Structure 1
Amino acid sequence: MIGATLTFLVFGLCCVGAIIRPWIGVIALYGFAIMDPGWNWRWSLDRAFPFQLYLALCLFAGWIVCGLPGLKRVVQNKTGLSFLWFFIFMGWVSHGQSLDPETSSYYLYTVFKIALVTTLAVALIDTPKKLWILLVVAVVTQGYNAMQINLQYFEDGFSAYSRSGWASGTKGDNNGYTIFTIPVLAMSISIALTNLGPKLRLFSLAIAALQIHQILLLESRGGMLAVCLLFALVAFFAEKTRSNIIGIVAIGVVAIVLAGPPVVREFSSIFAEAGERDNSANSRFKLWKAGAQITIENPIVGVGPWCGELLVPDYYEGPIVSTSQRKALHNILFEISTGFGIPATLAYFAFFWIPLRSSLGLVLRRREEDPWLNAASLAICVGMPAFFLASMFSSGAMLETGYLLAVLGYAVKNILHQPADSPQLSESCAEERQVYHAAS
């Protein structure tokens, strides 16, 4: 009952905070979405209790009461947000001729909610203080989940979360929750490699170790491959200070030591020859080929959000093993292109490309700047490519943490666009703002 009591206490405070300070509601929404208290305390909470719905209502009420703050920042980021909402609009158009309107409605409603929160986050996260609170909340909440998955493994001797229906409650199977974790892992590592004080860096490093072991326990091959890319990008983008090099080596050693024989075998199967691949690996290529063909035949509006799966059996080469008439495409590109059409797909990826491009500029210049801006930018540069690589093996389009990475990028842009005399900017941040505008 302690977990349930604390959950409702924090929930109540967050609802009040969202009305008084809408940015608190944004951070609370991400925190509750990541931790999923209905799953963590399912024995004492109603799993169907709509925490996020009530937080969203309080957030919108507070945003209106406070006079719609942040509209100027929405205008400043109109290009990226226009791509996001064009994607939603095309989903609505596609829904009108969907092969399965009920399924399309669920998918469209999910991404619509995420788009609303994303837009408000872009409007309201505009200071280094709000940015670091958002980063810490995301890392701590997902770190708690990673700790629980690790504890279950060490107590029982096996990972129940790698089995269907256990991985994360509402976040899908082991593949889905691995994808969900990767953006937050990027945040943990980025904080650990940024000059933010030894205690916070060690704390973030410990959480990153839990997250890495969690990903290994879930045995998602696409997720493991994405983590390898994340490490390669960290080694390239992170500042080559002595403490950072030690941190990168420490994380790498932890990953190698924690990877047991079953994990190594599972990961090694990615690189098996065509005749040695298992059915799951072989089916991926056939699924993607089917997705490409469905997209080519329905290029403008697709066949309805999340409905390309219905046509896979008709395009799949060879016998297909499925307990239903659907077969997941296991690929974010084809999941969107078959459901929404090619124009919406381009808009979707453009929304993410804009903050990634601006963050690459900041990280590559390696300027002395507010450390939280540096941590956020590094997280985007290493986390977003890894997130999409993992999503090429099992889609993460309905998972909040991928969008959260984009929010960090737009938030950094918001901060750097503030006037030079803004009292909310540190001197280093104001200096970086001037460099940012000069480069733009």
Structure 2
Amino acid sequence: MKKYRLEISIGLIFALLLVVFLWTNLAALLPQLPIGLLAACLIALISVIAPWPERDAEGKIVSTPSERYAPKAFGMAVLWSVVGISIIVGLAALLNRERFTKTFDLTQRQVNSLSSETVNVLKELKTDIQIVCIPSQDPRERYCDENAQLRRLYSEKSDKIQHFALNLSDRAALQQVRPTGFSRLVLLTKDNNRNEVTGSVTESKLTNAILGLTKSKRTVYFLTGNGEHATSMEGNRNYYAVAEILRSRAYEVINHKYTEELPADAQLVVAGPAKGPYSTIVENMLRRFLARGGRLILVLNPYRDPGMPKLFEDLGIRLDPTLLTANQGATAFGAQLAQIDPIRPPIAVGEFSRASEITKVFGAGDIGLADGARAMVFTAPAGDANVLKLKGTNLISAMHAAPVTLTEEQRNRLPLEGDLRLNP
């Protein structure tokens, strides 16, 4: 094989491997382009390396050609071509590792792969979801870099997922995304549904956040009309921060008049704290709501009678007519309450429950209760409590306390704003 033919064969093999490597990019320009280039390279390569017979000036085949097929030379050409293209592919893979659409997880526990449950969730997606990473204010924290691989795995498994990291200097993008803080993922859909993942990002957190967006709209009803806290920024105390967090997690917040029947789609209701007792109409409405499996968050004002005695009895809850005070009247309120019973120094000590998901995150040890806390006692449910589908968990237990007993009349005369003035 002549030298020039050997060099041409090396170049053709190199071009052949490049066509295979750039197949997707070439097909994007023209679907038939990579097939045509591949065929052209193969035909040219065969014509170069094939041992065609030599002919003389008269066109007759020479019986003893001066050039013979050299398989060893061609083998060396193939070898060096493969080595060269391997080096180029390796460098390209190293420099563009975030752009590849196909990856292989060779770890024993598949730590770089998504679980089958997550893959099934992504396959069933019907709407486009944007995952926006909000970086930390501290530039030394690489929050978005740490979860970039997980976000990339989600986008590779579903063309409905897009992800990118937000630049904090881009004020227009921040205004559009409206994150509630830093170091979090914000999930957005075209119909303005949104959800957030805070703290360290795990596969379970991100999948649950996507499920929260794709499921039917979740609604939280706040009772209003009896002095309950507003969900807007009204007054010194309100539920505005709570409502904003709920909205950021794909919940719809609705204010509901406490005298009207709850809608059939209501699943979660927040009631209280009320300035006056709820009537039997509200009591019966909440009983029906609980009986059909609804969830109720009842916030009680320790200085007011909440009413609904039959409901509390059926739930097995008894509210003691006492207020618990802190050590030696540590606050102005505690000092005034201590005047009622100066002989017994007010001492209130409690502990968080370890059985509840809400309070088990707090460390073990005693805690001081706030001045004016009201004690509750759980008893055996009465009446048709079985119909109400109840499940109760203690959050805080008071081990030692100096109770101050107030009559219902005294309790209802306590001012809810400003300093308290009690007479012993």
TM-score, normalising length: structure 2: 0.21
Higher relative contact order (CA 8 A, sep 6+): 1
The structure richer in helix per residue is 1
The structure richer in strand per residue is 2
TM-score, normalising length: structure 1: 0.21
